[in-house]
Amino acid sequence: MSVTDSPAARLQALFEGHRLTPTQRRIAHSMVRRAADVPFLSSVELAELAGVSQPSVTRFAVALGFDGYPALRRHLREVAPAEPAADAGSHNEYQQAVEAEIENLRHLAEALADPGPVQRAGRLLAASRPLLVLGLRAAAAQAHGFAYFAAKVHPDVRLLGEGGTMLQDRIDAAVRAGASTLLCFALPRHPREVVDTLAYAKEAGLTVVTVADSAFAPVAKVSDLLLPAAVGTGLAFDTACAPMLLGRVLLEAMCDGLPQAQSRLEEFDTKAAARGLFVD
């Protein structure tokens, strides 16, 4: 199945072009995450899945141009016939969390069937000198991991891993030094400071590439190129395997745009061996 034929892709296409409220974006995000199951869910079940009221689901269907949720569900069954997902009742809560992450990775694999957006992002990251990488709160670990590896091949990576009044100063300094792109990792719950910082970065002339949990995330409106990768919500704290893997894919795409990437890696390995840096 190609990315354009996947249930998640068909749902994304259904939502495009509609101005959705934050509550409606939450419903849309939940539907994409459970794309194979949605045609079989009642409005009450979808409301529980998204954590909203049943009337909100009805208003959401009307906002998409349907008479109500039953009409929307009929449409989904017609355009995306599928069997409901296998019953996970025999799995404990930990196994269910793992299964949900596996499904998120499947959705990511479907999206990467079209490598164009990631390749474009890789070129933007490779060309930026310096390259800014932003990630606050829940996304700080994703940004730190990307910046750690990117610094081995990119000549100037600047991590913005803490909020505060210095953020805009550091963006200004990077722009003066020649920066053209900012890479942002944005995960729930989305800090207002991240949205404000991306808006400032765009005003400063930077191109904003964002890895977010959904195409409907609050950062979408202040991003030039948004790459979605869903998070798992089955445990007390969200799990982010798909965003992490997408970050590594972006590293690969960036390396493709850096002619000296391989030689820099080899140089690092030589110095690390001479210093006895790692214990193998």
Q: Which residues of 51-75 are buried (b: 16+ CB within 10 A; e: fewer)?
A: ebeeebbbbbbebbebeebeebbeb
Cis status, amide bond into 189, omega within 30 of 0? yes
Cα separation, 89 vs 156, in Å, equals 49
7-79 under CATH 1.10.10.10, yes or no: yes
Phi, psi of 260 (to 5 degrees): -95, 10
- The model's pTM is 0.77
Domain-wise residue ranges, the chain? 7-79, 102-275
Task: Provide the pLDDT for residue 275.
Answer: 93
DSSP letter at 219 equals G
Cα separation, 207 vs 141, in Å, equals 22
Task: Provide the pLDDT for residue 164.
Answer: 93
State in Å, rounded, how far the first CA of the chain is from the last one: 41
Type of residue numbered 9: A
| Digitized pLDDT (tens) for each residue of the chain, 280 residues in all | 444 566 777 787 788 777 788 888 889 888 887 888 889 899 999 998 888 899 999 999 999 999 999 999 989 888 765 544 555 556 788 888 898 899 889 989 999 999 999 999 999 999 999 999 999 999 999 999 999 999 999 999 999 999 999 999 999 999 999 999 999 999 988 999 999 999 999 999 999 999 999 888 999 999 999 999 999 887 888 899 999 999 999 999 999 999 999 999 999 999 999 999 998 7
CATH code of the domain occupying 102-275: 3.40.50.10490
Asked whether the beta carbons of 138 and 39 are under 8 A apart, the reply is: no
Cα separation, 242 vs 245, in Å, equals 5
The position carrying tokens 């002339």 is 205
To which H or E segment does residue 65 belong?
Answer: none
Cα separation, 74 vs 158, in Å, equals 49
